[in-house]
Amino acid sequence: MKKVLFSLTALALCAMMFTSCKKDKDNDDKEESKISELSATVNDGSFKTSTAAFLSSSSADNTGTSKLSQIFSSTEGSTTIAGTEKGKQLAITIKGTTTGTYNLSVGANTTVNKALIELLSGGTIQDVIKDAIDVETNAMIIYRTVGQTEGSNDYWFSTKASVSFDNSLVLYATGTFTADMRNKSGDTFSITDGKFKVFGK
C-alpha cells in the first residue's frame, strides 16, 4: 500500500513539474513572439506598446500643413514610427526613408534652438529651423497625451535626438533612439533606452 501511495505521489509531483515548466515555456514564447514593439523610459514611467507601426512617404506626400510636416518635407521623403499606449502617444519622425542614423542637433545654435522651442510651443517660425545651415533637423521625437497639440504642457518634443533606423527588410523596421525632451513650460527629461521593431509600408 505504501508503494502504491508513493507511486501516486511521485506521479502527481511529476505532473505538477511538467505543467509548471510548460507554463514557463509558454510565457517565454509569448514574450519572444512580440514582433511589433515600441518602448522607452519616459518622464511618467515606462512606455511600451505592441500597437505600433511605421509609415514612409515620398516627398510628394509631404504636403501637409502641420508644423512637423513642413520641417520634414524633403526630396528624400520622410518616415514616422508611432505607437499608442494608455492614452499616450510616442512618435518618431525622420527626414528620409532608408536605413541610417538621423539626428536632431540644435543645441549649439541658440537662435535655432529658441526658434524650435517657440515653434513646438505653438509658434509659427518654422522657416528659421528649416533653412538653418549649421544644424541638423533630420529627426524629431514627440511624446504626448493623445489629442494634445503644440503649445500644450503635455506635448513633449526633442531638442536633441538620434535615431538609428534599419528597414532593410522593407516592410519591417528596427532601431534605437535617444532624445533630450522638453515641453512648453521648460520641463525636461531624457530618453536613453528607446527601441522599436515595427511593421509598416
Strand locations in 13-137 (E): 37-42, 45-49, 52-57, 78-85, 88-94, 100-105, 136-137
- What are the pLDDT digits (tens) for 37-58? 999 999 999 999 999 999 988 7
CA-based angle 18:34:178, to the nearest 5?
A: 130
| Residue 123 φ/ψ, nearest 5 degrees | -80, -175
C-alpha cell at 27: 510565457
Q: pLDDT per position in the chain (201 positions), as tens?
A: 444 333 333 333 333 333 444 444 444 444 444 689 999 999 999 999 999 999 988 754 544 445 666 666 666 788 999 999 999 999 999 989 999 999 988 765 667 677 777 777 777 665 656 555 556 788 999 999 998 888 888 999 998 999 999 999 989 999 999 999 998 888 999 999 999 999 997
Q: What is the pTM of this model?
A: 0.73
Q: Cell numbers 518602448 label which residue? A: 39
Residue type, 194: G
